[in-house]
Amino acid sequence: MILSLDLGSEVPIYLQIRDRIVEAIASGELVEGGSLPSTRQLAVDLGINFHTVNKAYDLLRREGLLRINRKSGALVQRDPSTGPPEPGFTDEWETRLRTLLAEAVAHGVGDPAVLDSCASVLASFTPTALVAHGADHGAKQGDSAS
Amino acid sequence: MILSLDLGSEVPIYLQIRDRIVEAIASGELVEGGSLPSTRQLAVDLGINFHTVNKAYDLLRREGLLRINRKSGALVQRDPSTGPPEPGFTDEWETRLRTLLAEAVAHGVGDPAVLDSCASVLASFTPTALVAHGADHGAKQGDSAS
Amino acid sequence: MILSLDLGSEVPIYLQIRDRIVEAIASGELVEGGSLPSTRQLAVDLGINFHTVNKAYDLLRREGLLRINRKSGALVQRDPSTGPPEPGFTDEWETRLRTLLAEAVAHGVGDPAVLDSCASVLASFTPTALVAHGADHGAKQGDSAS
Amino acid sequence: MILSLDLGSEVPIYLQIRDRIVEAIASGELVEGGSLPSTRQLAVDLGINFHTVNKAYDLLRREGLLRINRKSGALVQRDPSTGPPEPGFTDEWETRLRTLLAEAVAHGVGDPAVLDSCASVLASFTPTALVAHGADHGAKQGDSAS
DNA sequence: GTGGTCTAGACCACA
DNA sequence: GTGGTCTAGACCACG
């Protein structure tokens, strides 16, 4: 759970923390039931105010990725294997995806290049070891639409 | 150039305007050199303050998608056919893509489903290709429509 | 009187015209009593609206550098040999000079480099040829007012 | 950090603030790393809206003279000892210098008088050198005062 | 007519 | 507490 922040970035610190944790869950680095450092501990490690960590954890809780209780601290509530997303998640997410992809296309990134980026990002979440027996859910290729 | 906003959304109005325009550029609805409504006009049409439109336009200008001058108003500066993105764009964009995709994966959307979403979003930007036989009026070459 | 503008610059066109004319007067390219192109003519030559030229001429008139009458058009009212500036000019000008020089110093340009810039700019106004025989109406020296 | 404005001047307040700060940096009154009053505080002190201060600070930030973060407010990012200016600064600056000096020359201020003005303005930024015997505390080396 | 400035109030995000 | 967002009115600059 090494979590590198960029102080002085445009992105608020609490969001950077949240983003890194989301990515850690996506990549399997954090699995359902796993525990995260206490807010105080992480704050000390990162050299930031613990309120900032708190805010990140709370955001993740509201997103359904963490559960938090007094005794055991923050635990991962969800991971890729937990099941399909809550209803309503996908629509809202696709809206954001649409805007993000539009941005690349508008700037002149070709459709294939965009898809390649998506595929390679996905591949980076499943570092080969997990693609064990059938590999039927890996970052498959060739279904490009254009 | 119908631009439907969701007042009362979490997303600020100026960002919604910006997002819709980015998507319009990506989809070829707006092409390089095309002109956008004047800030005041659009503001009246949308029933909002002109500053809000102004802010959206200014953001797009800073992103390199619009150029703005006093006489002719806002013109589209870039479209998918204009060329590859400025250096530095892709890296920053992929960082955001990574976070966005991680979000879906963490919520249990499978890699293939994610890729499908990406592909179908991209396809939605070039719907003409799916309909046309020769597809000679797609936003691929500089055949400006104005 | 070739006057090159940069359309699309941050600096308004009318100000660019004004600035170029001020520089032409400073360099002796335009002398007291000399006539400028008519607003319409210059507007056509530059491919701009004649109101814009008008605005530049009017500004110069208010600054005391031009006089304008219907029959003979715009005439240069002042040049370096006309005499010392109107009272009040110098103070206001030095305030602007102070800010401009402070900007360079704050950005790390050393005092000598700043002075060099000033000197070379001044030298560029008096292209050596004018300091010829008597040099009694050129940018004469030694009449420092301070 | 006393900052006297002239309400009712032609020059917008935010620009006056910006100019005074630039001059304070040039004169060594503000040194790299030094902190400025918070936007709200300064606004109260000056009896103006905090947005106006904000605008001045933001302009200075875009000029590279300030850095701004939420925790520590506005800090001086540059001062005469920080090093040479960013490439591109000098050219743009000399263009403005050229116009400003041309103005004086056109109004009849002699070249020597102009140069004198430049020199005395520069001298006013480092007044200590004119007083001190050894001049070992001038704003020449990185002897930050904070 | 256009876009942009200047100032501003209410509110939010951040640490 | 800090800076920043979002929206806004009145006015100016520009062509």
Q: Taking CB atoms and an 8 Å cutoff, what residues of chain A touch B121?
A: 94, 97-98, 101
Q: Which two tokens stand for residue B134?
A: 């020769």
pLDDT of residue C7 exceeding 80, the answer is yes
Mean pLDDT of chain B: 85
C59 in contact with D, Cβ within 8 Å? no
Strands A73-76 and D66-69: unpaired
Confidence of residue D30 (pLDDT cuts 50, 70, 90): very high
Helix (H, G, I), strand (E, B) or coil at C35: strand
Q: Which parts of chain A register pLDDT below 70? A: 1, 127-146
Query: Kind and range of the H or E element at D66?
Result: strand D66-69
pLDDT at C6: 87
What is the C-alpha separation between A80 and A57, in angstroms, rounded? 19
* Chains touching C by CB (3 or more pairs below 8 Å): D
- Other Cβ atoms closer than 10 A to D91: 8
Distance from CA of C65 to the nearest CA of D (A): 8
E strand residue ranges, B18-138: 66-69, 73-76
Mutation pick from B101, B116, B140 vs chain A, by most beta carbons of A within 10 Å, is: B101
Which of B18-27, B120-129, C40-49 ranks highest by mean pLDDT? Answer: B18-27
Helix (H, G, I), strand (E, B) or coil at C81: coil
pLDDT of residue D103 exceeding 90, the answer is yes
Work out if D78's Cβ lies within 7 angstroms of strand E.
Answer: no
pLDDT of residue C142 exceeding 70, the answer is no
Strands D73-76 and D66-69: antiparallel
What is the C-alpha separation between D18 and D40, in angstroms, rounded? 16
pLDDT at B72: 81
CA-closest candidate to residue A68, choices A57, A79, A53 = A57
Using CA coordinates, name the residue in chain B closest to A60.
B103
Query: Is residue C105 within 8 Å of C113, Cβ to Cβ?
Result: no
Of the candidates B84, B104, B121, the beta carbon closest to that of A101 is on: B121
Work out if B15's Cβ lies within 7 angstroms of strand E.
Answer: no
A127 in contact with B, Cβ within 8 Å? no
Distance from CA of D44 to the nearest CA of C (A): 25
CA of B52 vs C1' of F5, distance in Å?
11
pLDDT in tens, C94-138: 999 999 999 999 999 999 999 999 999 999 998 665 444 444 444
Taking the CA of residue A79 as centre, how many other CA atoms within 13 Å lie in the half-sphere pointing to its CB?
A: 17
CB < 8 Å & 24+ apart, contacts of A113-116: A114/B118, A114/B122, A115/A144, A115/B115, A115/B118, A115/B119, A115/B122
Please identify which residue in the block is written with the tokens 């030095």.
C94
Distance from CA of C14 to the nearest CA of D (A): 14
**Domain locations in chain D as residue ranges:** 13-76, 89-131
pLDDT of residue C33 exceeding 90, the answer is yes
D near B: at least 3 beta-carbon pairs less than 8 Å apart: no
What is the C-alpha separation between A96 and B10, in angstroms, rounded? 13
CA of B140 vs C1' of E14, distance in Å?
44
Record: contact C78-D112, CB cut-off 8 A: no
Phi and psi at residue C104, in whole multiples of 5°?
-65, -45
Query: Kind and range of the H or E element at C50?
Result: helix C50-62
In degrees, rounded to 5, the angle at the alpha carbon of residue D69 between the alpha carbons of residues A56 and B86 is 85
Q: Taking CB atoms and an 8 Å cutoff, what residues of chain A touch B98?
A: 23, 121, 124
Query: Is residue B22 within 8 Å of A102, Cβ to Cβ?
Result: yes
D19 in contact with C, Cβ within 8 Å? yes
Q: Of residues A128 and B93, which shows the higher confidence score? A: B93
pLDDT at A1: 61
Which nucleotide is closest to D47, CA to C1'? E7
Q: Of residues D87 and D100, which shows the higher confidence score? A: D100
Burial class, B136, CB count within 10 angstroms (exposed 0-12 / middle 13-18 / buried 19+)? exposed
pLDDT at C145: 39
pLDDT at B139: 40
| Amino acid (one-letter) located at D44 | V
Domain topology for B13-76: Arc Repressor Mutant, subunit A (1.10.10)
D116 in contact with C, Cβ within 8 Å? yes
pLDDT at B8: 78
Confidence of residue C1 (pLDDT cuts 50, 70, 90): low
Q: Which two tokens stand for residue B74?
A: 């806002």
Chain E positions with a protein C-beta closer than 7 Å: 1-9, 13-15
The predicted model gives B1-25 an average pLDDT of: 87
CA of D39 vs C1' of F1, distance in Å?
12
Q: How many residues does chain A have?
A: 146
B35 in contact with A, Cβ within 8 Å? no
D118 in contact with C, Cβ within 8 Å? yes
A115 in contact with B, Cβ within 8 Å? yes
Using CA coordinates, name the residue in chain A closest to B120.
A145
pLDDT at D128: 60
Of the candidates D25, D98, D118, the beta carbon closest to that of C23 is on: D98
Of the candidates D89, D107, D119, the beta carbon closest to that of C107 is on: D89
pLDDT in tens, A9-23: 888 999 999 999 999
Work out if D56's Cβ lies within 7 angstroms of strand E.
Answer: no
Q: Which two tokens stand for residue C146?
A: 């301070």
CA of B49 vs C1' of E6, distance in Å?
17
Q: Which two tokens stand for residue C132?
A: 């010829």
Record: contact D108-C139, CB cut-off 8 A: no
Strands A66-69 and D73-76: unpaired
A122 in contact with B, Cβ within 8 Å? yes
pLDDT in tens, D123-136: 999 866 545 443 34
Render chain A in DSSP notation, one character per residue.
------TTSSS-HHHHHHHHHHHHHHTTSS-TT-BPPPHHHHHHHHTS-HHHHHHHHHHHHHTTSEEEETTTEEEE---TTS-SPPTTHHHHHHHHHHHHHHHHHHTT--HHHHHHHHHHHHHHHS-STT--SS-TTS---S----
E strand residue ranges, B24-141: 66-69, 73-76
pLDDT at A139: 40
B101 in contact with A, Cβ within 8 Å? yes
Rounded alpha-carbon distances, angstroms, from residue C81 to C77, C97, D106: 11, 22, 9
Query: Kind and range of the H or E element at D69?
Result: strand D66-69
pLDDT in tens, C58-89: 999 999 999 988 888 899 999 999 999 988 89
Strands A66-69 and A73-76: antiparallel
Distance from CA of D88 to the nearest CA of C (A): 12
What is the C-alpha separation between D16 and D8, in angstroms, rounded? 11
